[in-house]
Amino acid sequence: MAEINTTILDSFIYGQVTVGNIVIFILLLVVTFILARAVSGVLIRTLAGKTEAKTIDLTVKSIRTVIYVVGIIVACTQLKIDLSGLLVAGGVVGVAVGFASQNTLSNLVAGILLMFERPVNIGDSIVVNGTEGYVEGIGLLSTRVRTYSGLYVRIPNDSLFTSEITNMVSNVARRFDYNISIRYTDDAKKAIKATKRVIEEHPYALKNPSPSVYVDNLGAHGIELKVRIWSPSGFWWDARTELLWTIFKALRQEDIDVPFDQLTVWFGEEDAAKLQSSLEEGTDMTVEEILGKSEKAPENANSGRV
């Protein structure tokens, strides 16, 4: 029985092509079809949500076509069709097209790599090469960005891939800071308490990590407070724009104010008079201590006598 089957498979249909060749040809086509379907399915699942639907469609169709072409070429060898001429011609055309479209191919490869690496997603707020805005679409060749002022910017994928990308919303939360100055006559502890109270009331100022408010520097014109607040990445700008004014109003309510830049000019006579009066009142302090403890410290004074 096996012998009869072998005989049937070995029987020639035309030229050197046997029934067996036809069977293998059909099997290869079926395998090609199944492989193309499977790869398409995997690609759709992998790329879904990472890029635009039409880009996914184009990518899947392109890869499916390549699989079909390769499958058909391999299957054709069973029909004793000589494709060497076609392959050579295809190779030459391929090299020519490759040279001509070097940049395009580079962008294409970068686009595919971006889809897998996913440094940015549609809707993300990013900064690339000085361009700030929202990602509107990630295509095979380029990425579209809408700047905060509403301008359309097309960034070639090759450029995007090799650039430093700052993704503002990649992490779920981010921190923003304020520097707030208060007068030396104000109570920093009271200011910190009032600031913390305002932050606590704002919904987008996260409970954890807890906000931090502290005296950061004793500046030339006032006490400098540093305020550090964590917020959900998608809402940090809302919080940032609302909170500063609210903090300012709360500080004003506590009679705490922002210092104006000021320059105290000391005259030698005044210095001497104050010193004399302090000494007359009877004190154990040195001249330096008296002057150093004064709010109008001589370090701020214009040393040039007028």
Could you tell me which of 254, 251, 231 has the C-alpha nearest to residue 241?
231
Shortest Cβ distance from residue 289 to another protein (Å)?
Answer: 49
Q: Which of residues 43-82 bind another protein (CB under 8 A)?
A: 45, 48-49
Shortest Cβ distance from residue 41 to another protein (Å)?
Answer: 10
- For residue 155, give every residue at least 6 positions away whose Cβ sits within 8 Å of its Cβ, in sequence order, or none: 128, 129, 131, 142, 143, 144, 145
Q: Which is nearer to another protein, 104 or 246 (CB)?
A: 246
How far from chain centre, in Å, is Cα 103? Answer: 25
According to CB under 8 A, which one of 16, 149, 171, 303 is a site residue for another protein?
171
**174: contact with another protein by CB under 8 A:** yes
Contact in structure between 194 and 256 (CB atoms under 8 Å): yes
* Four-CA torsion 190, 194, 200, 206, nearest 10 degrees: -70
Shortest Cβ distance from residue 45 to another protein (Å)?
Answer: 6
How far from chain centre, in Å, is Cα 73? Answer: 44
**123: contact with another protein by CB under 8 A:** no
**199: contact with another protein by CB under 8 A:** no
Contact in structure between 145 and 134 (CB atoms under 8 Å): yes
**119: contact with another protein by CB under 8 A:** no
Shortest Cβ distance from residue 121 to another protein (Å)?
Answer: 9
**What does the binding site for another protein look like in residue numbers (CB under 8 A)?**
45, 48-49, 171-174, 201, 203-204, 206-209, 230, 232, 234-235
